[in-house]
Structures are given as C-alpha cells and as structure tokens.
C-alpha cells in the first residue's frame, strides 16, 4: 500500500509531532527492512477506563499473537483529541461517572435519542483531525473500540476513497445487550462481540448477521496468563506486602475513581471482619487521600493504591472484588477467577444490566443494592466455604479464554493483500 520510503517518513513525522501516548507502538520480531508489515490504527477514548483497557488489550494481543516480522500499532483518543468541544464532553462524562453516577441513565437516553455521532455539527468540527490522521499515517486497517467513533471514521474513509481498501472493524466493549445504539454502523466491515446477546442486539439495531462474529471480550493477555490458583494468589499478596493466607477484599473504584464505591468502602471498614483489603482509587488523587483517612479507622489492614497499570496483580491477590459493573473490569476479574460484589446501589447503566443479570444467573457474584449490606455479604463468603467455592467456579465458567487471540486472528484475516503477516500463520 505504501512504499518503504513513505513509511519511514511517516514514522519520522509521528516521532516529531505526536504526544507520547499517540506515538505508534513499533513492534518487530526480528531485524527486517522497514515497511514490510501492516499498520494498525485503534480508535479509542478515555470515557471511563474500559475503552482504554480494550485498546491496550488489542495492542498486547497483536504483540503476542500476530506472527509478522514487522508491524506498527497506533492508538488515538479520537474524541478528546479531535476538537476542544468534544474534549469537554469527555470531561463531562467522566465527571458524571465520578460524582453523579445516578445521572448516567439520562445521558444514555439523550445520546441514543439524538445520536450526536451521526450529526453534521460534530462531524464538521472533527473531520479535519480524522483526515489528517489518515493522510499522515495511512493505516492498513482501522479498529474502533468506542461507540461514538465509527460513524465519523467511516464517512472520512468514503470521502478519501479508501473505504474499499482500509477495512473498518469494531470491537464492541459492552458484553451483553442493552448497549449504545452508536455501536451500529452500516459501514463497519466486521463486528467482533463478546456474546450471543450482544450479537442479537446488533442485529436488532440493523447490522447484517454475516458481519458479526462472537469472539469474547478484549481482555489483556496478562490476565489470562496468570495462574488462577491459591498459590498464585498467595504470591501476589506477598508481593503487595499483605498476609498471603488471609481472605483479601479488592475494593475497585475504577480508572476514574468515584461513583458509589467510596460510600460502600466506608460501610465495609466498620465491619469486624478477619480480612485484609486493597482499595484502588484510580486517577482520583482526592479519593486516594480520603481512602487513607477512612482506612485509619478500619479494624483490619487496608492497602491504598492510586493509579496503577498492574491491576492484574491486585485481582490475582483478591479473594473477591467490589466494583462497578464495567464490561472490561468484569471480564478481567472473571479471567482471574475472582467473584464480584457488584455495585447496584444505583441501578446499573443499561449497557451494564446484562452483565448484572449474567453474574446473578450464573452465580458468579452478588448485586449489592444497599451499601449497608456489604459486611454481611463478605462475611458469608468468608464463613461458608461451599458457597464461596461455588462463586469461584461460576466465575471460571463465565470467563472467555483466549478471546483476545481470536480477536487478533479476525483482524489479521482482514488485512489487505500486500500487508499480510510475513511470518508463520496465526
């Protein structure tokens, strides 16, 4: 698709004009001439942490499972980078997640009703960014992991005459039905979804069945590689400075840090339980300091963690996780065989309701409808060994092994002729 010299020039420009998080990840299996491998563009956004995690999982999956001598992957936060207006909308979304979680259902209704991703008002303000992105980097394939990005991307590909040459793939990060209508776009070449429920939802939204494949969630391979046994859990606890033998509760406030989890944590630390706890505050520094103050009054040891890229270590150490029902977070925990106490003190967002149903129906977790119930819920898991063992077994049955490898295989199969992997087949 591009001459070797053109690729070299593009990479030089990327190094000079891109912020660090925008620069392409250049991955080589062995020394080879530049330009022999494909270029993969992943379109994401930091609205919550799930889309970011999905993009990182695909990058890691390409690095692990993509058998090519040379290739490059670039991840862009398209919504916030495209225009100052859309960047402020991302900030508003994250503020609501952190401080006004009960408002999210109204935002969900408004976005599905007015469909901003299809409006000329937003397209005119972001088209320059997208055109420049394609013209400077010219990928062989584009992957969207966000419901509000593929419509604009597809329109630009058409206008540039590239729709037939550059496949547009969407990896849906909402695992079950009830998700955003923005996921459905007529111009997406292939949809990769987590479940039959998600597949049926896309068909209901008008997507042709032959363009949908069920592969599972894009969970980072580092979660799947972990040995999900008690020995691995003891080693992870020891590495965190915790008692390797004690029942460990992971309180996960998420990437953005907030919502109802701080209230649940306050109730939890009042309990007289023979446990230890890990509290993850995410990118919320104020919450981290508040959690440290609360933890001083706990009747058991509590380790406070701010933002970290090693969430798999925290999940591996956990006996149970208390968390909001984010799609990626849920399946990361399931990959580590960790039962979930899901925050339902505010009714789950529509795209999370399916995960809530699956957890309850399969017995892999508990929905917490009142913060004051947290202590008896944890106590039962600690004291009833048969009950806890059933939760662990159900979590294992809900996990979808090798899902990221299947996603990468589907992506590789769509690469245009001349950009195929040149090493051994997947």
Q: Which of 5-14, 134-143, 364-373 has the lowest mean pLDDT?
A: 5-14
Q: What is the SS3 assignment for 183? A: helix
Please give the pLDDT value at position 375.
Answer: 97
Q: What is the SS3 assignment for 36? A: coil
Please give the pLDDT value at position 339.
Answer: 96
Please give the pLDDT value at position 254.
Answer: 84
- Residue 13 phi, psi (nearest 5): -65, -40
Percent of the chain with pLDDT over 70: 87
Comparison of pLDDT for 75 and 226, the residue scoring more: 75
Please give the pLDDT value at position 10.
Answer: 37
What is the per-residue DSSP string for 252-284? Answer: E-TTTT-TTHHHHHHHHHTS--S-EEEEE-TT-
What DSSP character marks residue 101?
G
Helix 4-17 to helix 120-137 angle (10° resolution) is 120
In the predicted model, is pLDDT for residue 180 greater than 90? Answer: no
Cα separation, 127 vs 133, whole angstroms:
10
Please give the pLDDT value at position 265.
Answer: 95
Apex 118 CA angle, 115 and 122, nearest 5: 100
Apex 172 CA angle, 136 and 86, nearest 5: 55
Q: What is the SS3 assignment for 25? A: strand
Q: Which of 46-50, 146-150, 275-279 has the lowest mean pLDDT?
A: 46-50
Complete edge-to-edge strand list for the sheet that includes strand 190-193: 25-28, 70-77, 39-44, 141-144, 168-171, 190-193, 212-214
Which pTM does this prediction carry? Answer: 0.82
Please give the pLDDT value at position 12.
Answer: 37
306-361 pLDDT tens trace: 988 889 999 999 999 999 887 788 899 999 999 999 999 988 888 888 888 889 99
Comparison of pLDDT for 229 and 392, the residue scoring more: 392
> Residue 345: how many CB atoms within 10 A of its CB?
21
Paired strand residues for 192: 171, 213
Task: Tell me the average pLDDT across 279-302.
Answer: 92
Paired strand residues for 144: 43, 170
244-274 pLDDT tens trace: 999 999 999 987 777 889 999 999 999 999 9
Domains of the chain plus CATH, in order, are 4-219+402-413 (3.40.50.2000), 222-398 (3.40.50.2000)
In the predicted model, is pLDDT for residue 114 greater than 60? Answer: yes
In the predicted model, is pLDDT for residue 190 greater than 60? Answer: yes
Please give the pLDDT value at position 22.
Answer: 44
> Residue 229: how many CB atoms within 10 A of its CB?
10
> Contact 331/400 with Cβ under 8 angstroms?
yes
Cα separation, 35 vs 301, whole angstroms:
53
Average pLDDT of the chain, as a whole number: 84
Task: Tell me the average pLDDT across 177-192.
Answer: 92
Please give the pLDDT value at position 327.
Answer: 74
Residue 416's pLDDT band (boundaries 50, 70, 90)?
low
Comparison of pLDDT for 49 and 180, the residue scoring more: 180
Comparison of pLDDT for 34 and 92, the residue scoring more: 92
Paired strand residues for 27: 71
Please give the pLDDT value at position 353.
Answer: 84
Cα separation, 252 vs 338, whole angstroms:
13
In the predicted model, is pLDDT for residue 109 greater than 60? Answer: yes
What DSSP character marks residue 19?
-
Comparison of pLDDT for 379 and 35, the residue scoring more: 379
> Contact 175/355 with Cβ under 8 angstroms?
yes
Please give the pLDDT value at position 42.
Answer: 95
Residue 75 exposed, middle or buried by CB count within 10 Å (0-12, 13-18, 19+) = buried
């Amino acid at each position: 698709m591009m001459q070797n010299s053109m690729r070299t020039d593009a990479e030089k420009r990327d190094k000079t004009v891109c912020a660090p998080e925008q620069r392409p990840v250049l991955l080589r299996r062995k020394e080879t001439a530049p330009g022999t491998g494909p270029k993969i563009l992943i379109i994401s956004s930091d609205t919550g942490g799930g889309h970011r995690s999905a993009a990182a999982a695909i990058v890691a999956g390409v690095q692990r499972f993509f058998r090519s001598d040379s290739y490059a992957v670039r991840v862009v936060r398209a919504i916030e980078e495209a225009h100052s207006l859309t960047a402020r909308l991302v900030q508003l979304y994250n503020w609501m997640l952190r401080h006004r979680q009960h408002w999210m259902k109204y935002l969900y209704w408004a976005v599905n009703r007015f469909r901003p991703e299809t409006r000329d008002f937003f397209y005119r303000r972001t088209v320059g960014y997208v055109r420049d992105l394609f013209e400077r980097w010219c990928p062989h394939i584009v992957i969207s992991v966000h419901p509000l990005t593929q419509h604009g991307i597809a329109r630009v590909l058409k206008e540039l005459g590239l729709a037939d040459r550059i496949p547009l793939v969407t990896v849906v990060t909402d695992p079950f039905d009830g998700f955003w209508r923005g996921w459905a776009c007529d111009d997406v070449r292939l949809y990769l979804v987590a479940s039959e429920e998600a597949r049926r939802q896309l068909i209901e939204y008008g997507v042709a069945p032959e363009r949908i494949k069920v592969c599972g969630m894009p969970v980072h391979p580092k979660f799947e590689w972990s040995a999900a046994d008690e020995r691995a859990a003891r080693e992870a606890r020891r590495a965190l400075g915790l008692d390797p033998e004690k029942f460990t509760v992971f309180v996960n406030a998420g990437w953005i840090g907030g919502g109802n989890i701080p209230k649940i944590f306050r109730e939890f630390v009042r309990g007289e339980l023979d446990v230890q706890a890990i509290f993850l505050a995410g990118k919320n520094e104020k919450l981290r300091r508040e959690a440290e103050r609360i933890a001083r009054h706990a009747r058991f040891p509590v380790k406070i963690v701010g933002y970290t890229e090693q969430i798999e270590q925290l999940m591996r150490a956990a006996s149970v996780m208390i968390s909001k029902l984010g799609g990626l977070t849920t399946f990361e925990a399931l990959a580590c065989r960790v039962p979930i106490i899901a925050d339902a003190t505010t009714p789950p967002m529509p795209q999370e309701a399916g995960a809530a149903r699956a957890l309850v129906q399969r017995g892999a977790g508990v929905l917490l409808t009142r913060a004051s119930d947290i202590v008896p819920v944890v106590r039962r898991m600690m004291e009833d060994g048969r009950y806890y063992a059933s939760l662990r077994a159900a979590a294992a049955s809900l996990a979808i092994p090798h899902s990221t490898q299947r996603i990468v295989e589907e992506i590789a199969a769509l690469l245009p002729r001349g950009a195929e992997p040149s090493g051994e087949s997947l």
